[in-house]
Amino acid sequence: MATPKSSTRPTHQTPNPNFHDLFPAMAGKLGGEGLIDELCKGFELLMDRDKGVITFESLRRNASTVLGLGDLTDEDVRCMINEGDFDRDGALNQMEFCVLMFRLSPDLMDASRCVVTEAIEEEFGDGTRRH
């Protein structure tokens, strides 16, 4: 997960906080399945237990108690939900949450692109399929 390098919330003087992206290191250490397992555990910590999804209310409540981000505004929480809400139901299901976490990690996305590119080149690199 991304962690702030500074413990202070962004202010008007520093609108873009510095974040240290820990996902690539986690992926390297845990492997693909291990990283997905950890993301699923994170989803369970943030979700509304009755609804089985991350709602505005559950993220608002758990961002403070679980993540220590008590100074998030309602707009911050809405933006976080909207960023990953592909089906536009106002909540994040487990898949949307996991995809959002990958999308928020530029280094992990770059690494994923490299793996996919290599696989495509191996499979179709010389114009013939290798099977």
What is the structure's pLDDT at 5? Answer: 42
Q: For residue 96, give both structure tokens.
A: 């949307």
**43-93 per-position pLDDT tens digit:** 999 999 999 999 999 999 998 888 888 888 999 999 999 999 999 999 999
96 class by beta-carbon count within 10 Å (0-12 exposed, 13-18 middle, 19+ buried): buried
What is the structure's pLDDT at 64? Answer: 85
The per-residue pLDDT of the chain, averaged, comes to: 80
Q: Which helix (H) or strand (E) holds 19?
A: strand 19-21
The mean pLDDT of 94-123, rounded to a whole number, is 79
In the numeric block, the tokens 């929480």 are attached to 77
Coil, strand or helix at 111: helix
What is the structure's pLDDT at 87? Answer: 97
Top pLDDT among 37 and 117 is at: 37
Backbone angles phi, psi at 91, to 5 degrees: -145, 165
Is 107 within 8 Å of 24 (Cβ atoms)?
A: yes
